[in-house]
Each structure stands twice: as C-alpha cells, then as structure tokens.
Amino acid sequence: MASFLIPFQVLFFLMLVPLQSSIVFASLAAAAPAKEAETLLKWKASLDNKSQTLLSSWLGDSHCNWVGITCDEAGSMTNLSLPNYVEGLRGNIPSEICLLKSLELISLSNNRITGSIPQEIGRLSSVSNIFFYDNNLSGPIPTSIGSLHNLTALDLKLA
C-alpha cells in the first residue's frame, strides 16, 4: 500500500482556501445591504421633488431604518411598503428595483406611479405579495410574473 506525504505548504493551502472562501462570502453578504440602499436611493432620485421630500428619511446606507422598509436579521430588505403614501409618490417603477432579491412584499398601491411594470419583475424570486393597484400604470402585465413561484397575492389595476 502506498503512503502519501502531503507537504506542509499544500496542507496549509488546503486549510486556507475554505477560510478565504468564507471571508469572500461574508464580504459579499455585507455588501448586499449597501447595494440595496444604493438601488433605493437611485429610485428616490428618479422621483419628482415632492416625492423625494416625502422620502427624506432615506439617507445613508442604513436602509433598514428608512420609512417603508423592513429587513431580515441579516440586514437584507424583505419589504418595500409605501402604500397610500401621504400625497402619493410620483414617478416610475425602475427595473433596478427588481435587483432586490430578498423582497417578499412590494406595495406601492394608491400612489401616483406611472409607466409600466418592468419586465424584470420576474427576478424577484422571493416575492410573495405585489400590490400596485390605484396608480397610473399602463402597458401590458409582464409575462415574467408567471415565473414568480412564491407569489400568493397580486393586485394590479392598470390604466
């Protein structure tokens, strides 16, 4: 029977690779909430001035403390809930909002949102509830909604 001696450098490398991988994954996990905040701030900047003022609590990268935002224990955003928002948010639903992979609920109902629902909405694989009714949305309902396997409630009213 042959025996193998593993040089120390190889053994050290084999022990180091899993450690580096976990550091990379931890860094990626920590970066995700910052990316979510960046996405929301870009959306806020695309809204009209009055809507931006309504979202004045949306400052910095601690988005879990912002109005209408709920996060899980890891700091990932699970709910974007801004229904009936004071005098109504005005603007479009940007496709970037569909990058928020941890979203389980998105509620923008009873506002003054215009334009169409982004086709990319099908990327929200965790979403179970979408409420966009009583806005000024137009265009077709994206076929990608059919790929949302966790979706249990969908309430739309398009102009």
Q: Delimit the domains of the chain by residue range.
A: 33-155
Whether residue 94 contacts residue 116, with contact meaning beta carbons closer than 8 Å, is answered with no
> Could you give the CA distance from residue 86 to residue 84 in angstroms, rounded to a whole number?
6
The domain defined by 33-155 carries CATH number 3.80.10.10: yes
Tens-digit pLDDT string for the chain (159 aa):
444 444 444 333 334 444 343 333 333 344 477 788 888 999 899 999 988 888 998 987 688 999 999 999 988 999 999 988 768 889 999 888 888 989 999 999 999 999 999 999 999 999 999 999 999 999 999 999 999 999 999 998 766
Strand ranges, E, within the chain: 69-71, 77-81, 90-92, 105-107, 112-115, 129-131, 136-137, 153-155
Query: How many angstroms separate the Cα of 63 from the Cα of each of 56, 83, 92?
Result: 12, 18, 20
Q: Kindly tell me the number of DSSP H helices and DSSP E strands found in the chain.
A: 2, 8
